[in-house]
Amino acid sequence: RGGGGGGARARLGGGGRKVVSVGRQFQESLDSLMGMLHTCSPHFVRCIKPNHHLAPDDFDGAYVMRQLQQMGMVHVVKARKQGFAHRYDFDTFIARYGYLREGVECDAAKLAPYLQTYLGSASPPAGTKTETVQLLGALAAADMFATDGWAVGTTKLFLKASHQQQLEVARESHLRRVITQTLTKAIADQDLASLDEAVARAVEIRLTGKLVEEAKALLATLREREKAFEALTEAMEMRDVAAVEAALKQAAAVRLEKDAKKGAQKVSDAKALLTQLKAQQVASNALAAALASKDVKKLRDALDAAQKSGLNSGQVTQAQRMLEGLKTKDALEKKLAAAAKGGSLAELTQLLAQAEEIGLSTEAARAAKRRHASLQESAQASSALQSASTARDEEALRAAIERASAAEQNQAAAEREKAAMSAELATAKELLAKLEAEHSTVLATPPRGGAAAARGLPTPSGPVSYVPGPPAGLPCEPLAARGARLQRG
């Protein structure tokens, strides 16, 4: 009894806790699995071993066939062959096999029995269901499909394995013919898109042969040409000599110039651009050298080369500005040289102001400055002579004559200007001599005695210095009368 009591306590657990049995655990696990399966769409996969060694790349056909037989798969396949193994809705069937009607001629009289048998009317309403029966009837009339053994339902077409095989044979034959024509045309046109599509369809139906190999080789060439074409386009947009040369080498490797559609023109354009870019590069180097030398001829030649090559950059603008500046300096220098030999003071002043503005400092400019200074001094001396002559100021006239004489000796002027200065000096000297003579007469001592007293003039007291009188033949006059006569001229 003691043992029995211990067993009861063991089933309840040491502390009275209920113990779950193995059967209960299995039932709960099974319920969980069935609940999971009911929420899904299970697909059962049967695994077949390729060999009993469990080695890769070793297929034992007899061993695999024995497994299929033991699993019942052979009987399943046979059973499906005996029934309608293939079922299509009408839209899917027409999408896959509709083009088989092309090239199959069949009049309405031959189609009428099939329409009557499978649709219950020789003139059924239009739709994919009617198109399906017309297609199968036309193929059957052309001995390309079985006349019976297939069924048409409300929404689907039912075919046996043999019918499916006939359709696939017809479809493959049609595709081979169409794809062969497409390949031939694509090879002739050398169009990348159509050739790519045709080769893809040929691979899809496992079409082989010399034509397919030729198409594949041409497709690879066209793809390389397309890459070369894109590289050329990109290099031409960059306008880089090295990039264009590399792209042209790539194009030559795939013979892009043989592409009559666009490749040949692109190669021709790239070569022309390369020639232009090289000419622009040479012109740019020539411009840089001409800018450094500041030589008019080099600048003009470099700008001509830049214009011929189509170069249009900031360097060209800079060279044009420098050339215009040098031309202006050259023209100004020639004007200064001519003016330094015989130009007027106003002309020299204007030209020297222009030279100062552009910073011209040449021998011609320095000669013009010397000429300008000489003419300016002559003008000032002439003005001083005129002012002194007008004022009849003996001292001022003497100083002006000295200044004019110095200016005449230092003047680098033309003969006509020297002659004018000499004439002015001669006139001034004559006037000075005249003034000196008049001064001498005025300063001569007047007669003493009664004559002065008789005239009511004051008699000088004290000693008077004697100044010799004027030469014989000139009358002696009182100072006041002499002054009045001089004023009257």
Mind listing the pLDDT tens digit for each residue in 374-411? Answer: 777 777 777 877 777 777 777 777 777 777 777 666 65
CA atoms within 13 A on the CB side of 419: 3
Mind listing the pLDDT tens digit for each residue in 217-242? 988 988 898 899 999 999 999 989 89
* Cα R_g (the chain), whole angstroms: 64
- Beta bridge partners, 87, equal 158
Cα(313)–Cα(306) distance, integer angstroms: 9
Per-residue pLDDT tens over the stretch 138-166: 888 888 888 788 889 889 998 888 888 88
346 has a pLDDT exceeding 70 = yes
Report whether 104 contacts 143 (CB < 8 A): no
Instruction: Work out the end-to-end distance of the chain between its first and last CA atoms, rounded to an integer number of angstroms.
Output: 185
State whether the Cα torsion 136-139-145-146 is positive or negative: positive
For the residues 22-36, what does the mean pLDDT come to? Answer: 91
- Residue 79: φ, ψ to 5°: -65, -40
Triad 295, 299, 301: Cα angle to 5°: 120
Cβ neighbors of 327 (< 8 A, separation 6 or more) are 296
Q: What is the DSSP letter of 148?
A: S
Contact 367, 340 (CB under 8 A): yes
Assess contact for 308 and 342: CB atoms under 8 A: no
Per-residue confidence (pLDDT) for residue 368, from 0 to 100: 78
Determine the pLDDT at residue 15: 53
User: Does 467 have pLDDT greater than 50?
Assistant: no
**Helix pair 296-309, 314-342: axis angle to 10 deg:** 150
Q: Are strands 156-159 and 151-152 parallel, antiparallel or unpaired?
A: antiparallel
Task: Count the neighbouring beta carbons within 10 Å of the beta carbon of residue 435.
Answer: 19
H helical segments located in 294-414: 296-309, 314-342, 345-358, 363-391, 394-410
Supply the pLDDT for residue 445.
46
Give the whole-angstrom CA distance, residue 222 versus residue 229. Answer: 10
Residue 144, classed as helix, strand or coil, is coil
pLDDT of residue 2: 46
**Predicted TM-score of the model (pTM):** 0.47
> Residue 97 has which token pair?
């096999």
Residue carrying the six token digits 């040098």: 326
Query: Which pair of structure tokens corresponds to residue 415?
Result: 């003969």
Higher model confidence: residue 280 or residue 7?
A: 280
> What is the structure's pLDDT at 101?
81
Round to whole Å and give the CA distance between 174 and 166.
Answer: 12
Rounded-to-integer distance, Cα 316 and Cα 324, Å: 12
- Residue 205 CB neighbours (<10 A): 15
Q: Tell me the C-alpha distance between 3 and 305, whole Å.
A: 122
